[in-house]
């Protein structure tokens, strides 16, 4: 009987701790995804500036599109600021609670970004990525940053 109570107590403790752990993972996964987006965009910028071949970068755009398409599901209310502390350290976030107030607008912006990344992939496969292509993609990123990300 005591063993059963001990197991139940441990299970309850683990259950109470899990949301915080999962929440930390959501923030870390989101941050890693944005880091990947930034690194890939930097690689494209470098290739365009050096008049290099962008075709080798095209497969990386699929990862970008997958991340952007999953983004609306990566911002649960508990992972926003507030209630989470604002910042760039572990457990902190720059994703604002404004996302919660405009989920439809956030999802629309993510869809627009995914569309821009799809156009980037087509251009990358053809080797025709230009600075204007990158500005268009960057504009869709900025459209989300302005209302939904702290500085």
pTM value? 0.80
pLDDT of res. 7:
37
Average pLDDT score over residue span 65-82? 94
How far from the centroid of its chain's Cα atoms is residue 139's Cα? 16
Q: Is residue 33 part of a domain?
A: yes
Q: What is the CATH number of the domain that holds 103?
A: 1.20.120.10
- Say how many domains are in the chain: 1
Residue range 87-96, pLDDT digits in tens: 988 889 999 9
Q: How far apart are CA 59 and CA 27, in angstroms?
A: 25
Mean pLDDT (the chain) is: 86
pLDDT of res. 91:
81
How far from the centroid of its chain's Cα atoms is residue 123's Cα? 23
Q: Which domain holds residue 82?
A: 26-148
Query: What six digits make up the tokens of 28?
Result: 């870390």
pLDDT of res. 25:
86
């Amino acid at each position: 009987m005591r063993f059963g109570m001990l197991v139940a107590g441990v299970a309850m403790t683990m259950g109470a701790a899990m949301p915080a752990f999962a929440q930390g993972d959501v923030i870390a996964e989101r941050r890693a995804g944005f880091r990947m987006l930034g690194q890939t965009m930097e690689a494209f910028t470098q290739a365009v500036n050096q008049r290099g071949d962008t075709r080798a970068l095209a497969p990386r755009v699929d990862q970008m599109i997958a991340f952007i398409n999953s983004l609306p599901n990566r911002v649960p209310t508990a992972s926003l600021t507030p209630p989470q502390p604002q910042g760039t350290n572990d457990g902190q976030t720059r994703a604002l609670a404004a996302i919660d107030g405009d989920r439809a607008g956030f999802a629309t912006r993510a869809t627009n970004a995914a569309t821009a990344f799809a156009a980037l992939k087509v251009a990358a496969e053809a080797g025709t990525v230009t600075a204007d292509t990158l500005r268009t993609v960057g504009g869709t990123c900025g459209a989300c940053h302005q209302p939904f990300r702290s500085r």
